[in-house]
Amino acid sequence: MSRKRVNVLRTSTASMKKCDVAIAGGGVIGGAIALELARAGLRVCVFDRQKPGQEASWASAGIISPAPENPGMIATVELGKRSAALYPEFVALVEEISGQSTGYRRKGTLETIFSHDAKAELSTIIALHHGLGLEAEPLRAEDARELEPALSDELEAAVLRPGEASIDNRLLTAAVFEAAQRSGAEILPARRVKGIWRDGARCRGLLVGNEKVEAPRTVIAAGCFSGMIEGVSAYAPVKPAKGQMIALRADNLNIERVLWSEKVYLVPRNDGRILAGATVEYVGFDKRVTAGGIEKILAAAIELAPGLKDARIEETWAGLRPDSADHLPILGPTDLEGLLVATGHFRSGILLTPVTARLIREWITEQKVSVDWERFSPLRFLSAAARTSHRTPA
Ligand SMILES: Cc1cc2nc3c(=O)[nH]c(=O)nc-3n(C[C@H](O)[C@H](O)[C@H](O)COP(=O)(O)OP(=O)(O)OC[C@H]3O[C@@H](n4cnc5c(N)ncnc54)[C@H](O)[C@@H]3O)c2cc1C
């Protein structure tokens, strides 16, 4: 072999990036996992195809509520409760290490009821909450309006969930990455992950551009784009669920808590902005803000808090939630040794950030987890696909 050839080989081996854990995707999920693992003493690399934190984690409303919005979400209540309970400690840690604020507000949320059968609806909602071990108090309309004078006169009743919170997800994501980096994680922007590096039944790392990154553990956390990474779609068949949002500013109107109606939520931020959202649309990877989307949100927001009709519109945007066929998160190891998935958080990714990071770290460092996550296994899609093909006549 010529001398020149030997040198080339040496250089390519020497330049192959190696880490203990390679993470594909730098949203809040990938960032929080990196922080936990770096603090556990592991060498972590996070690859993002752009600047981290510019997708769903930036577009979110940042509500931290484990209460189910519909019966399909009951399956995540326990996970959500665990994550919400971890939040104060998580925020304190992130703020302390990063030196940055996250805009965490633990001021409660108020679910409003406008129906004529409000009494029956109220007792059903309260019973459901208590059955799930969630704190919730029934309120008469006048008591709710005393707490939140911005609420409409048409209100019939409300449910107060005093322990719930919200966070400025843009600040949180930036602070998480700063904290992860200060804890030793390597954050690599503008590095698109093409695929996993598969070697038989093992995942040996990631294929990033034309480079191989070697890691005994690989975590896929690329949000709604995860399924586009080669070799991953069977474990993370996610699709984007677009959400449009509006930021309002009102001079003579104060909202303290997160307010919900059936059609909209309003989320006050520490900087005085009031976020209103959100649509849920299945239109592919399209992030355009539309007249119809904005009209729907504004009409519902003004119905809930009529004083908002004089508010200024400061910003509009849209983002893509990572949704799965059963709308549940996709968490845990796969049948490829070394490959884990952490995505599919749909409408609850900010809520579920601390518990996701905790469970992935526990699995990687202890090979066991403190919450049963079987239900969220990436393998459930493989068995669903196998069942379907079994039923299909030849
Ligand atoms: C309008 C809206 C409102 C929401 N409101 C709430 C809420 O109130 N409460 C709540 O809990 N959740 C909410 N969510 C959901 C929450 O925002 C998401 O579940 C969460 O942000 C998902 O985080 P993620 O890190 O998985 O994905 P993302 O933030 O989308 O990050 C994925 C990252 O992967 C990167 N990436 C993609 N492909 C590649 C590749 N091939 N190589 C390298 N990098 C790649 C992207 O650039 C991106 O940075 C909302 C979402 C939206 C859109």
DSSP annotation of 227 reads G
Nearest CA to ligand 1 atom 16: 349
Q: How far is the CA of 55 from the centre of ligand 1 (A)?
A: 5
Q: Are 58 and 42 within one domain?
A: yes
Q: Are 160 and 246 within one domain?
A: yes
pLDDT at 21: 98
Q: Are 159 and 244 within one domain?
A: yes
Which residue ranges of the chain lie beneath pLDDT 50?
1-12, 391-394
Q: Are 222 and 269 within one domain?
A: no
This prediction's pTM: 0.95
pLDDT at 8: 44
The closest of 113, 91, 111, 116 to 101, measured between CA atoms, is 91
Ligand 1 in reach of 176 Cβ (< 6 A): no
Domain containing 111 equals 107-164+239-323
Distance CA 129, CA 267 (A): 21
Report DSSP letters for 2-31, one per residue.
Answer: -HHHHHHHHHHHHHSEE-SEEEE--SHHHH
Q: What is the pLDDT of residues 11-69, one digit of tens each?
A: 445 568 999 999 999 999 999 999 999 999 999 999 999 999 999 999 999 999 999 98
Nearest CA to ligand 1 atom 10: 348
Ligand 1 in reach of 177 Cβ (< 6 A): no
Q: What is the pLDDT of residues 162-218, one digit of tens each?
A: 999 999 999 999 999 999 999 999 999 999 999 999 999 999 999 999 999 999 999
Ligand 1 in reach of 55 Cβ (< 6 A): yes
- Please identify, among 269, 300, 323, the residue that sits at the C-terminal boundary of a domain: 323
Nearest CA to ligand 1 atom 50: 60
Distance CA 315, CA 277 (A): 12
Q: Are 223 and 353 within one domain?
A: yes
pLDDT at 71: 83
CATH number for the domain harbouring residue 330:
3.50.50.60
Task: Provide the number of structural domains found in the chain.
Answer: 2
pLDDT at 70: 83
Q: Are 137 and 243 within one domain?
A: yes
pLDDT at 2: 44
- Please identify, among 305, 323, 341, the residue that sits at the C-terminal boundary of a domain: 323
pLDDT at 224: 98
* Atom in ligand 1 nearest the alpha carbon of residue 342: 26
Is residue 52 situated within a structural domain? yes
Ligand 1 in reach of 80 Cβ (< 6 A): no
pLDDT at 136: 97
Q: Are 244 and 318 within one domain?
A: yes
Ligand 1 in reach of 351 Cβ (< 6 A): yes
* Atom in ligand 1 nearest the alpha carbon of residue 50: 47
pLDDT at 203: 98
The closest of 319, 251, 307 to 280, measured between CA atoms, is 319
pLDDT at 387: 59
pLDDT at 4: 45
Q: Are 248 and 228 within one domain?
A: no
Is residue 86 situated within a structural domain? no
Helices (H), the chain: 3-15, 28-39, 56-59, 77-98, 118-131, 141-147, 169-182, 291-304, 353-366, 379-391
- Please identify, among 323, 344, 374, the residue that sits at the C-terminal boundary of a domain: 323
